[in-house]
Chains A and B, each alone.
Chain A
Amino acid sequence: MRSFVRTHATEVSLLAVIVAISAVLSVSTANFFSLGNAFDLLNISSVNIIFAVGLLVVLIAGGIDISFAVAASVVQYGTAIALGWIGGGGWVSGLLIAGSLGILLGAINAFLIHRFRVISIVATISTFNIYFGLLMFFTKGVSIYDLPGWLTDRVILFEHEMADGTWIEITLPVLVMVLCVIATWVLITRTTTGRQLYAFGDNPEGARRFGINIGAMQFIAFGWLGLMAGIGGLIQAHYAQEVVPNALYGRELDVLAAVVLGGARLGGGKGSVLGCVLGVLLISITQNGLNLMGVSPFAFKMIVGAIILMAITLSNTRIERLLPFVSQKGAGR
């Protein structure tokens, strides 16, 4: 347990912050501490968690991606059009089309970064503008509301009425999110490819000397994020029941903040799926709590920003001072 605390200091401190905020909200609001609200939170956070685990893989490999959220919007439009061509389709064909389109857009980033040695933040700021520009140009900013019926119908996988009359529901987005989280966890912790991604992010030159295929690493990382962006885009369209070209614009920074909050390092080699999920949840819980407390939505961004700052300051070096037992160094020292 102690070694878990030491090697997972970020996750533990995030969990502590989440527990503390939840405790405050349970006392100060009537509805926060209920299973119904907890499941609501999961439903609301699903898309961001899907994006976040994708972005995590890119951060671990030492890159960064600003373009994935608008790429997801491009995927929404592309998928909607493609589904029209094939006469409606269904969840399987929808996910396949969205996932493939996402991978394609991610591969464009990887290609620019690997082939032309453009640093990832510059490459993806460029593709962010190109994707969004093309999207606004071709759609003229028009939203799509006549989506296929299967896509807009809510899919409730499990529901149960609680004694107090509230409903707990597990919807399709949650299931997809859980599958994406598990798949990403397996990729980065249980496969050799995942460990190569960590090694590449941690020490690119060292990885190169081991003969790790650097190009493949870039394509896998950005391709995985593209896949998650595609799936997340489709799920967001399902959740919102419409496709709006600028609906996801700006989401990239929220997700990036959550992932970094979860302990991923800009610069590579560090980050966990658990931390990533907790990072997104912390932000969702805060927004949800502010909502329940009746705080003006205009104040959300400010408060969320402050919480991110506090949590990141805590989870860096300070944790070792706050919890002295954590800071005992390795046995060899």
Chain B
Amino acid sequence: MRKGVFGFPPASRSNLTRFMGRHMHQLATAGGSEKPLLALRDINMTFGGVRALKNVSFDVRPGEVHCLAGENGCGKSTLIKIITGVYRPADGASIEYDGESYSHMSPVTAQDRGIQVIWQDLALFPEMSVAENIAFQTVLGRWPKLVDYNRMRQIAKDALARLGVTLDVDLPLKEYAIAQRQIVAIARALVGEAKLVFMDEPTASLTQSETDHLLDIVRGLSASGVAVVFVSHRLAEVLEISSRITVLRDGALVGVYPAAGMTQSRITELMTGKTFDQQVRAKSRDGQPVVLDVKGLSRPSQFEDVSLTVRRGETLGITGLLGAGRTELALTLFGMLKPASGTISLEGKPVHFSSNRDAIRAGVAYLSEDRLSLGLIQPQSIADNLVISSLDKVLSGGLLSEERKRSLVARWIGDLGVKIGLQQDAISTLSGGNQQRVAIAKWLATDPKLLILDAPTVGVDVGARAGIFDIVARLAESGLAIILISDEVPEVYFNADRVLHMAQGRIVGSYDPRTSSLADIEGAVYA
């Protein structure tokens, strides 16, 4: 920020209180003595000297929905890869599955024995037909055989029918949106007579109603005797769907808990070893000058008659379901889309952006919702990513100055508390939370007046989320006007001064978190 320097060191987080070490190995006994379908004991795994898993045990009962919880890097994926045979655990491990013992699994054995994984990236083939994606197992095998397309179609239709979904199985998968692709991935897992299905962040890119549908499907699977291991960052749905929760932290088992009686904040404490007290941060900013004033902004079939103001130091939350027009509105304010009618004023002056370069020059910054593919250039270094929007500030005699770049980067890395090795390291080496901090720093380096954050916590851990919102609060205090867009209502409720609800391109509600309850807003949004 051009005006403010942050007044306190980034490491001192007010909401970091105590370490929850005493919960280690507090094993739950809910459900009694039913014989487990899968029982892992003494699982150790080391990658280049780093112990990714330390003496982990893990049980899954037949037909249960079991949640595996933990922050990124806690060993969840490593554990899944051991169960599915991608990795081989250190000696001494015991894997008991469906009445047989193994010292390690192989991918072929795991699939043959009915263990299926739905990876977060789905591992689907977008150019191939829905039928081929679902019945892909029929084209596997070492020696060439003739392809039986009719059989594939039948298998695909049967699997989809089991899920109660109809899709055109002959269309290429790329014709379908992400929610349907997720269903295709589930249908594929069901083809191989699955007994145990792992779902890695299946709802990460789904809207609420799509998520509800998916959870219904998971319940159906469970009722038909398929055990589901569910991994998700969204703790509300974890509590809703699972019967038991296994929590991992730093590669070690924290404990196994019955979902009944659990709360989101309790799981977060167990996952991070810290407590987070979520408090409404909203304040009145009525005395401050208006930075952004939007009147009657419309873009046909995207949003209609949107009017809003954001004051200096104010954080305006915009929530609503995916497809409500939030991102299109943000892109319009950022000059990448042109409004059909309406006006945008910045600090009292009407502006007409012909491109986002104009918007950046006028002091608008936009943190894209898709950080991985749009916001950051993954193979490039942290330093290069950070200065990409403000190259004019690191020039010396018309050429890039390494010296200026280094000091600019050092300043922002320090201000935002990004944990990095070297400035020259590739951005892809950072965790989601730290990448997001770099992405924010990149925009702060352009000296914005208005910062638009579109879904800033997608793919960011619970612990790191709090850190991001601390930064947002500090930025607002230093005088920046902020628009915070998120489809997770609690995020805007706790972190914004005012909350607007957008539905079908219109602003349908305005809430003050100090006088409205979270349930009110959630009720309206998810209705």
Contact = CB atoms under 8 A, between A and B. Distances in A.
B167 A331 contact: yes
Interface centre among B119, B123, B146 (most CB of A within 10 A): B123
Given A192-B141, A192-B144, A330-B176, A3 B170 contact: yes
Interface stretch (B58-66, B125-133, B356-364, B430-438): B125-133
A329 interface: yes
Contacts of A189: 147
Nearest to A208: B123
Contacts of A270: 127
Nearest to B141: A192
Interface string A198-217: 11001101110111110010
A9 to B, nearest CB: 11
Interface in A223-278: 269-270
Contacts of A198: 125, 127-128
Nearest to A200: B125
Contacts of A3: 170-171
B128 A199 contact: yes
A114 interface: no
B180 A213 contact: no
B140 A192 contact: yes
B168 to A, nearest CB: 5
Given A198-B128, A199-B128, A209 B146 contact: no
A162 B139 CA distance: 48
A191 interface: yes
B175 A203 contact: no
Interface in B159-213: 166-168, 170-172, 175-177, 180
B276 interface: no
A192 B147 contact: yes
Nearest to B152: A195
B231 interface: no
Contacts of A191: 144-147
Interface residues of A, number: 30
B124 interface: yes
A193 interface: yes
A192 B177 CA distance: 27
Contacts of A332: 166-168, 176-177, 180
A217 to B, nearest CB: 12
Given A190-B146, A192-B145, A270-B127, A212 B119 contact: no
A196 interface: yes
B123 A195 contact: no
B142 interface: yes
Given A330-B176, A331-B168, A192 B139 contact: yes
A189 B127 CA distance: 13
A193 B139 CA distance: 7
Contacts of B262: none
B139 A195 contact: yes
Contact of B140 (A203, A210, A331): A210
B136 interface: yes
Nearest to B84: A209
A7 interface: yes
A207 B144 CA distance: 16
B107 interface: yes
A140 interface: no
A40 B136 CA distance: 43
A333 interface: yes
Given A203-B124, A209-B123, A7 B147 contact: no
Contacts of B127: 198, 202, 269-270
If over half of A's interface residues share one DSSP class (helix, strand or loop), that class is named, otherwise mixed; here it is helix
Contacts of A190: 146-147
Contacts of B175: 329-330, 333
Contacts of A211: 107-108, 111, 140
A191 B175 CA distance: 24
Nearest to A193: B144
A212 B180 contact: no
A329 to B, nearest CB: 6
Residue among A189, A206, A207, A329 facing the most chain B CB atoms (10 A cut-off): A206
Given A3-B170, A331-B168, A332-B176, A203 B126 contact: yes
A113 to B, nearest CB: 21
Nearest to A60: B127
Residue with the greatest number of chain A CB neighbours at <10 A, chosen from B127, B140, B167: B127
B185 to A, nearest CB: 10
B171 A7 contact: yes
A150 B365 CA distance: 73
Interface in A1-47: 3, 7
B148 to A, nearest CB: 10
A195 B176 contact: no
Nearest to A270: B127
A195 B107 contact: no
A196 B140 contact: yes
Interface in B93-140: 107-108, 111, 119, 121-128, 132, 136-140
B191 to A, nearest CB: 12
A192 to B, nearest CB: 4
B128 A333 contact: no
Nearest to B167: A332
Contact of A212 (B122, B140, B172): B140
Contacts of A194: 144, 147
Given A210-B137, A332-B177, 8 more contacts: A192-B138, A199-B139, A202-B127, A211-B111, A269-B128, A330-B176, A331-B168, A332-B167
Interface of B: 86, 107-108, 111, 119, 121-128, 132, 136-142, 144-147, 166-168, 170-172, 175-177, 180
The 8 closest A-B pairs by CB, nearest first: A206-B123, A330-B175, A195-B139, A193-B144, A269-B127, A192-B139, A202-B125, A191-B144
8 contacts: A190-B146, A191-B145, A193-B144, A195-B147, A198-B125, A199-B128, A331-B168, A331-B171
